[in-house]
């Protein structure tokens, strides 16, 4: 079946990995990628897609209703997969209103254009990509499930929680064919340098102090980006309308464990004899509202849609470090 799919935020980290994977797999689908190309998005991430016959890029803001409507009409958009978001927690602390604008108003704009084109449709789908951060923080035990109450602790997570609630409301009010997925921390190729894993790699290779917030014991459930892409594929095609699906694989690691693992991989690659990269690890003041632990229970996704991660953390982080090393060597 021919589907003309609008992918928002497709020039970013997760979106660009998904676009290449998805439209190589489904040659009978057409992609229109809409991205504002802020600092976090780059057309370099989509270079391998430029040769695809079923791919078009459009630069613009998801808050621009007239632009979104024009794209819907010009390309006869049938479905939306919505990745676009401001996502860096530190930036949300410094400039919260930009997160509200993009994540809440932008999502509302997309939903409203989609609703007007496909009221009551059961075949046209709106898939909203969200975060486990909407659930707040966990103690030493337990997992987030789809039934966990929302308790966001940063402007970023609050804005994503707001967008999730909008999507939910359009299902219950308008019977719109929507699904939402909440994923754990992604890592892998193309991730922006501001994020934890690229930051550790960058500082280590520059032989500069590797900054770790607080005591380094904040824990995240780490998800390799291509495993996330495969999950989104399944949820988009087979997820039940109005449902939420959590995506995670119980790869819990503290920030400090991540730093030591990357240093270990770099030590093996560079075979230093006088010192190890881990000597560069430096603790810096913690950020405000820093959630202590996230962990996802993906039982619903596994049992309903038969998804499972293909990468362990050890294989995924090794591939990630190699990708950054190759990228850096090409620049030098």
Coil, helix or strand at residue 207:
coil
CA torsion sign for 230, 231, 237, 238 is positive
| DSSP labels, 13-80 | HHHHHHHHHHHHH-TTEEEEEEE---TT--GGGGGGGTT-TTEEEEE--TT-HHHHHHHHHHTT--EE
How long is the chain?
332
- Exposure class string for 175-190: b at 16+ Cβ within 10 A, else e: ebbbbbbbbbbbbbbb
Alpha-carbon distance 157 to 144, whole Å? 15
Contacts of 203-211 spanning 24+ positions with Cβ under 8 A: 203/280, 204/262, 204/263, 204/266, 204/277, 204/280, 205/266, 205/325, 205/328, 207/280, 208/280, 209/280, 209/281, 209/282, 210/259, 210/263, 210/277, 210/280, 210/281, 210/282, 211/282, 211/284
User: What percent helix, strand, coil does the chain show, rounded to 5?
Assistant: 45, 20, 35
Catalytic residues: 132-133, 156
Which residue(s) pair with 214 in the sheet? none
């Amino acid at each position: 079946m021919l589907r003309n799919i609008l992918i928002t935020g497709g020039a970013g980290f997760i979106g660009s990995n998904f676009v290449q994977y998805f439209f190589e797999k489904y040659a009978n689908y057409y992609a229109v990628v809409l991205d504002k190309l802020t600092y976090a998005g780059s057309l370099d991430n989509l270079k391998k897609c430029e040769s695809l016959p079923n791919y078009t890029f459009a630069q613009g803001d998801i808050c621009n209703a007239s632009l979104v409507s024009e794209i819907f009409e010009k390309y006869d958009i049938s479905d939306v997969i919505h990745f676009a978001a401001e996502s860096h927690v530190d930036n949300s602390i410094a400039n919260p209103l930009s997160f509200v604008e993009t994540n809440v108003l932008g999502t509302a704009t997309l939903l409203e254009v989609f609703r007007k084109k496909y009221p009551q449709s059961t075949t046209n789908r709106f898939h909203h990509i969200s975060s486990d951060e909407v659930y707040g923080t966990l103690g030493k035990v337990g997992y987030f499930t789809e039934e966990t109450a929302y308790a966001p602790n940063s402007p970023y997570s609050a804005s994503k929680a707001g967008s999730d609630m909008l999507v939910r409301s359009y299902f219950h009010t308008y019977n719109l064919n929507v699904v939402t997925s909440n994923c754990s921390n992604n890592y892998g190729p193309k991730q922006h340098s501001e994020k934890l894993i690229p930051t550790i790699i960058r500082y280590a290779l520059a032989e500069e102090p590797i900054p770790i917030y607080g005591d380094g014991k904040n824990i995240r459930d780490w998800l390799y980006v291509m495993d996330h892409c495969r999950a989104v594929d399944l949820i988009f095609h087979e997820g039940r309308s109005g449902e939420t699906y959590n995506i995670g694989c119980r790869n819990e690691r503290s920030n400090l464990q991540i730093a030591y693992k990357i240093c270990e991989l770099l030590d093996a690659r560079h075979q230093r004899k006088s010192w190890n990269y881990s000597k560069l690890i430096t603790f810096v003041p913690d950020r405000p509202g820093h959630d202590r632990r996230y962990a996802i229970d993906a039982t619903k996704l596994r049992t309903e849609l038969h998804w499972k991660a293909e990468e362990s953390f050890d294989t995924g982080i090794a591939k990630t470090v190699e990708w950054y090393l190759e990228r850096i060597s090409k620049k030098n």
